[in-house]
Amino acid sequence: MTGTIYEPGRGPGPAKPTEETLSRLLAEHSIGALATTNREGYPHLSTMAYTWDPVERVVRISSVVGRAKVLQVAREPRASLYVSTADHLAFAVAEGLGEVSPVSSVPGDETGRELLTMRPPFTDPADEALFLRNMVEDHRVVIRLRVSRLHGGGIDVAR
């Protein structure tokens, strides 16, 4: 097997993925780093499970009232989600304005239903009802990142 040979100190150049490729990268993964801004103005990074809706251009994250990321998005809505391929040779960044849903307060309310769409369907209706009750007990909210800019890059190597 032959590969490209680079001179010492040189390697492959940067890749410029299309927006479609970046959107596909977001859709293929469910864990990323959410960047918000803390009270002192520094970046705050949290590893988060998320869902990506490419049609609405919205990243959705389940969280709990009082957590740092919820407070930070409510105070300063500019946020980003970073995702990389398993080999770290490509990445996508979804930037936009975040918003926090109302807390789920009644089983089956709008927030609870939105949280329900973020997971695979239950086979037993009793499990769905239990999930919706748990969302209320846990004081769950949805962080929505409305993506205005999708960018990324990587290293231009043959995969």
Is 134 inside any structural domain? no
Let me know if residue 130 belongs to a domain. no
Query: What is the arithmetic mean of pLDDT over 114-134?
Result: 95
Q: What band does 121 get if pLDDT is binned at 50, 70 and 90?
A: very high
Average of per-residue pLDDT across 5-23: 81
**For residues 28 and 35, what is the distance between their CA atoms, to the nearest angstrom?**
20
Mean pLDDT of 84-102: 94
Distance in angstroms (rounded) separating the CA atoms of residues 80 and 131: 28
For range 110-127, the mean pLDDT: 95
Q: What is the CATH number of the domain that holds 41?
A: 2.30.110.10
Q: Into how many domains does the chain fold?
A: 1
pLDDT of residue 159: 45
Q: Does 133 fall in a domain?
A: no
In a domain, 84, yes or no: yes
The answer as to whether 24 is a domain residue is yes
* pLDDT tens digits along 32-87: 999 999 999 999 999 999 999 999 999 999 999 999 999 999 999 999 999 999 88
Domain range spanning residue 40?
A: 14-102+140-154
pTM: 0.88
- Examine residue 131 and state whether it is found in any structural domain, yes or no: no
